[in-house]
Amino acid sequence: MIGRLNHVAIAVLDMEEALKVYRDTLGGIVSDKVAQPDHGVSTVFVELPNTKIELLEPLGENSPINKFLERNTQGGIHHICYEVDDIIAARDQLVANGARILGDGEPKIGAHGKPVLFLHPKDFLGTLTELEQA
Amino acid sequence: MIGRLNHVAIAVLDMEEALKVYRDTLGGIVSDKVAQPDHGVSTVFVELPNTKIELLEPLGENSPINKFLERNTQGGIHHICYEVDDIIAARDQLVANGARILGDGEPKIGAHGKPVLFLHPKDFLGTLTELEQA
């Protein structure tokens, strides 16, 4: 079912500080910062030869990463995202296996403009896991 | 400086349970389980088309992932590993930038038989970050 690792998302308190680490210290190739008001975050992608790191900064008062940043006050890895060929088939197979999908179970359009689902961390080794239609 | 994402490591309490998730539920291609007594873990690799997931289970009484699993009782993402062309040059550049290296600062031979270093999470966005000589 799972294909490529699309990205690893790191929640950060301050994007300028995150860029100092990933662009200046680690020498990564970074995208422009993009506000994603529908998702309550601003994003920067670090382009690696084989995948991406997604830096997430809270946007607005009800950002979905606020709670994570309250528990992880220096930031940290927030989720990983795998590509799947058919997100509906993947979801149905996971649910048949007893796994839980976050939210109403219907794919939403994610930060990359493609349908995504988030799987319950308790069913996936304590790891918030996103599936994205390839 | 940073090249490919070599792997994302997920610490797990029980490898059999982890295999149910990654092999059976997510349909991943998994390696045999290998005991790494020098590192205090047993490892299974999930081979993705573009990178790997490293599942880490504690091995022995003083496993370096025990504390993490006390804090993260369902497991969780433990670290990410980037490849670098020259680990000594990378280390020297990072130290010159003020970043801290864990341990004595000298590369060790990692689970893949290549020199590795771990960078201090406080200097890398709350993320334990490994560098591996490519």
- Dmax over Cα atoms in chain B, in whole Å? 46
C-alpha–C-alpha distance, residues A44 and A75, integer Å = 15
Best mutation site among A15, A26, A101, A129 for testing chain B: the one with the most B CBs within 10 Å?
A26
Contacts of A97 (CB under 8 A, 6+ apart): B24, B25
- Note the pLDDT of residue B18: 98
Neighbouring-strand partners of residue A9: A54, A79
Burial of B103 (0-12, 13-18, 19+ CB in 10 A): exposed
How big is chain B, counted in residues? 134
- Note the pLDDT of residue A1: 92
- Note the pLDDT of residue A103: 94
Among residues A54, A83, A130, A132, the one annotated as catalytic is: A130
CATH code, domain with B59: 3.10.180.10
Nearest-Cα residue of chain B relative to residue A28: B2
C-alpha–C-alpha distance, residues B55 and B76, integer Å = 10
A102 is in which domain, residue-wise? Answer: 5-133
What are the mean pLDDT values of chain A's consecutive 10-residue runs (134 residues total)?
97 98 97 94 98 97 95 97 97 95 94 92 97 96
- pLDDT 10s digits, A2-26: 999 999 999 999 999 999 999 999 9
How many domains, chain A? 1
